[in-house]
Each structure stands twice: as structure tokens, then as C-alpha cells.
Amino acid sequence: MKNIFDAIDYKFFQVFSGENRRIHAEIIMVVSDFFKRHNNTSFVEKEDLVNHLTDYINQRDFDKVLDDEGNDISTSSAREKALNKLNLFKRNGWLIEEKVENYVDIIQFDDNALILLKALEDISSNSAPKEYTGYIYVIDNLLRYFDYNQGISIIEQVYDNTETLMNRLRGLNSSIKKYLTKLLNEDNEDAEKLLKTLLSDYQENVINKAFSNLKLSDNPSKYKNQILSRLNELRSKEGMEKLIANFRKTKTSKDSDDVIEKQLIYQIDYIYDNIEFLQQTILMIDVKNAKYVKSSTSKLSFILSENYDVEGKIENILKLMKHQKNEEHYAHAFGLYKMGIVDSQSLYKPRSYRSLVSETPLEIVTEIDQDYVDQVRLNLFKDNRFSTKTINEYVKNILSKHDQVKASELDFQNNEDLTRLILIQLYAHHEHMCYQTVSANEVVTSNNIEYNDFWIMKRGEHSAK
């Protein structure tokens, strides 16, 4: 098993520990941006970089800057701080300094640092690629027209595509969990903020149209059998002999045929196992997303309800009492009583007396008004007005009159309409819904609530330009 510290120095990550870790993270990004401004050249002159970093530190005015030994250098000049931090990144393997002709000092990034910088930028800006489509098609196409003369190269491409797809799906699964945790733990009762989270952040960053396409357009199940069959051929004795022969031609290796075969089997097995269980992986994500939607709906119903339930009132009062301990203020809210002390009389059972029930004549019950019965029935089933079936029927009725419609064009008069609008977007990726949604790339305001507008259209159609 390869170890990362065989490729980089153990001090590489030390810049992101200690009291100045946030300062170091900010400075290395500033250095990276400076390189990009120079048309992504592989090096810059040290003096230019020092001057740029000096100007940045002057403007930024960090609270407390420490040197390698932990000494406070906050009173030092901005240039001294810039030089100190550049030297720190050089010593820890991020930057390389060398002297070129005319005795000019240049700075360049270590190649491993460039790889990690890209990952750090993606994480900090949440800009990691969110596409999930196309991978299955590429994998199927590569294996369908497999050429043993390029066998090793093709297997590496298939392996990379499989690994990328699975990593992004795992990341999606993790993202849903983060949103769910945030939704349940936040004491937020702002309908507009929750609407923004559901219709913008969650929809774009988690269940975007790309994931829906993976389920509906790509449909991994239609490629699965063909891919697995081809992989079995590659794992056969004849297939493996051809692959090992191609490996010998294209790679420089002193490994035995057995070692090479184990490496190839490992890659092929990885592809096979992940393609075989891809549908289950997608199903798990769907289940977690359904849980998020259900929790969101419950919270929306609570926030938008005109009458708080009793449990909600008690919970809010207890939270308030916890943080603002003012007995006089809450004395008349409700009573809290201590339990009585258990004594010898606690289990005493008093004697009960029977009494004869007096006879009363039966009264003729008047007929119940049918309108009243209908109203009661309507109230009993009112909670189902936000189910997937109800929302689907609601949208189907709209699309029977229009080919497509914008969310902002729908009647939006009360809290129930607001909840329905959110659920139309959240339910759109379900397999059995009659419609799909596409972002309109514009922000609209309706009833003092701002949200990203979107098109609602029949499934399989494209939005208007």
C-alpha cells in the first residue's frame, strides 16, 4: 500500500496547524492567485511576489502574526511578515526558490502543492464539479469497442471514470446528510431563509438536474449487463493474457506476470463491483433525500402554520426560560410542581362505592348535515395535500393547459401556496412525477419573499429561451 508521505515531506501539512493556520491558508491562496494573474506561468520573480504579498498584508492587517518559533511578529513591518511566511512555505515544501540568469530569484510551486491547492479551492468555494452524467455512457462505450492493442490505456480510463463517478456520488450522499443535520439543529423559524435553502442552495448544490439526469436519462440499469459481461471477458484467462502482453509493450516494469495480473484484476474488480451496485447507491441517496424532503415539509408546516401546536409552544417557552432565567416574568406562564414524597400511604387504595345509574329515556338523534360530514372528511385528509401524489396531480392539471409555466406565474397568496411551490421543486426528481423543473436563472420576489425562479414543464421537454 502506497503512503502519501512517500511522496511529500511530513512537514507539508504543518502550515495548517497552530494558531496562524487561517492566516497561512489565506496567504497561500493569495500566492496562488498571483500566479494566475501572470497567465499561469510556472514561476514568478520573488521580488514581485514579496511586493504583492506586502501590499496585501498591509491592507489585511492580521490580528496576531507568529513566526516559526511561536514568537509574536505583529509589530514587524508588512514586508518582514511577507518574507517570513514565504520562507515558511518554502521550508515546508509548498514553494521552491531558485536563482536563474542575471542572478534573479524566482519562486514556483511544488507539483504536489498544485494538486492540493486545486482540492483546497474546490472545498473552500464549494465549486467541486457537480455533474454525475455521462460517465456510464463513456464506460459502456469504451468497453463496447474494446481494443486489446490499447487495453491498458482503456482500462485506466474506465477505472478513472468509475472512481470519479463514485466519489461524486459519495460526496452527494455526505452533502445531503450535512443539510439534514443543519435543518434539524437550526433554531430557524424564518420562512424566507428556509425557502432560499430549499429552492436554491439544496437544489443547486445537492439534487441538481445532473443527478436527475443520471437516474432518468443515463439510467445505469440499461448499460449494466453489457458492462459486466465485457468485464467478465477481460477477467478470463485469454483476456488476461492479452492484457498482460499489452502491459509489457506499453509500460516499463520489472514485475512478474502474477504481480501485473493482480494489479489488473484489482482494477477490473473495482469497476465491476461499483457498476453492479450503482443502482443501490443511487437508491440510498434517494432514501436520504426523501428523509430531507420529509423533514423540510414538517418544518415548513410548523413555521407556516397559523396556530402553533402545544408541543411547539412548550418547547419555545422552555428554551426561553433556559436562556433568560427571570422567575417573575414566567410566573404565570404555567406551573411546574415537585413530585410528592413516597410514604406509607402512597399505595393506599380507597374503597369505591357503587351507585345505581338512573334510567333515562333515549333521545332521537337528529340527522347529521351532509355539508358538515364533507367538511370533517376534508379536514381529516387535509394533511395529504402535500404528498407526492397530490403535488403531481396539481402540476398535471396546470400542464394540461400550458406546455410549460414559470413558478413565479403561479398563484401565490398564502402559506399553503408557498409550501406547494417548494415541494414542486423538491419532488421534481422523483421517477414517477409527470414534470421536471429547470432553473430560469433569475431571482424574483413574490409576497415579499425572494427566490430563484424556475420553469415547470412536462418531463423530457426543454425550457424556453
**What value does the mean pLDDT take over residues 54-68?**
88
Alpha carbon distances (Å) from 40 to 36, 109, 144, 321 = 4, 11, 39, 58
Residue 303 falls inside a structural domain: no
Domain count for the chain: 3
User: Residue 307: what pLDDT?
Assistant: 45
Quick one: pLDDT at residue 84? 93
Mean pLDDT of the chain: 78
271 in the same domain as 234:
yes
User: pLDDT value at position 247?
Assistant: 93
pLDDT at 237 over 90: yes
* Per-residue confidence (pLDDT) for residue 449, from 0 to 100: 74
Mean pLDDT value of segment 401-426: 81
Check whether 308 has a pLDDT greater than 90. no
**Residue 285: which of 206, 226, 355 has the closest Cα?**
206
- pLDDT (tens digit per residue) in 79-126: 999 999 999 999 999 999 998 888 889 999 998 888 888 888 877 765
Instruction: Identify the pLDDT of residue 130.
Output: 54
Residue whose grid cell is 439510467: 219
11 and 44 share one domain:
yes
Residue 431 scores a pLDDT above 60? yes
Neighbouring residues of 123: CB distance < 8 A, sequence distance ≥ 6: none
Q: What does 356-417 look like in DSSP terms, one character per residue?
A: PPPP-PPPPPPPPPHHHHHHHHHHHTGGGGGSHHHHHHHHHHHHTT-SEEEGGGS---SHHH
Q: Are residues 17 and 95 in the same domain?
A: yes
Q: What is the CATH number of the domain that holds 31?
A: 1.10.10.10
120 with 141, same domain: the answer is no
Q: Note whether 202 and 279 are same-domain residues.
A: yes
Is the domain of 30 the same as that of 49? yes
3-class SS of residue 439: strand
Asked if residue 187 and residue 76 are part of one domain, the reply reads no
In the block, which residue shows the cell 477481460?
A: 234
Residue with cell 515544501: 93
Does a structural domain hold residue 250?
A: yes
Query: Are residues 188 and 291 both part of a single domain?
Result: yes
**Could you tell me which residue, 333 or 149, shows the higher pLDDT?**
149
- Does some domain include residue 110? yes
- The C-alpha atoms of residue 24 and residue 463 are separated, in whole angstroms, by 46
Q: Which of 198, 197, 173, 12 is nearest to 89 (CA)?
A: 12
R_g of the chain computed on alpha carbons = 33
Closest CA to 427 of 397, 400, 459: 459
206 plus 63 within the same structural domain:
no
Out of 270, 297, 324, pick the residue that ends a domain.
297
Q: Are residues 72 and 176 in the same domain?
A: no
Helix (H, G, I), strand (E, B), or coil: what is residue 336? coil
Query: Which residue among 258, 273, 297 closes a domain?
Result: 297
DSSP 52-119: HHHHHHHHH--S--B-TTS-B-TTS-HHHHHHHHHHHHHHTTSEEEEEEGGGEEEEEE-HHHHHHHHH
Q: Which of 297, 331, 348 is the last residue of a domain?
A: 297
Q: Are 46 and 107 spatial neighbours (Cβ–Cβ below 8 Å)?
A: yes
Does residue 341 lie in a domain region? no
Confidence category of residue 172, pLDDT binned at 50, 70, 90: confident
In this structure, the answer to whether residues 174 and 205 fall within a common structural domain is yes
Q: Which of 9, 54, 47, 13 is nearest to 30 (CA)?
A: 54
Do the domain assignments include residue 343?
Answer: no
The answer to whether residue 327 is domain-embedded is no
Residue 160 falls inside a structural domain:
yes
Q: Which domain holds residue 273?
A: 135-297
Q: Region 449-460: what's the mean pLDDT?
A: 82
Looking at the structure, tell me whether residues 117 and 148 fall in a common domain: no
Is residue 356, in this structure, part of any structural domain at all?
Answer: no
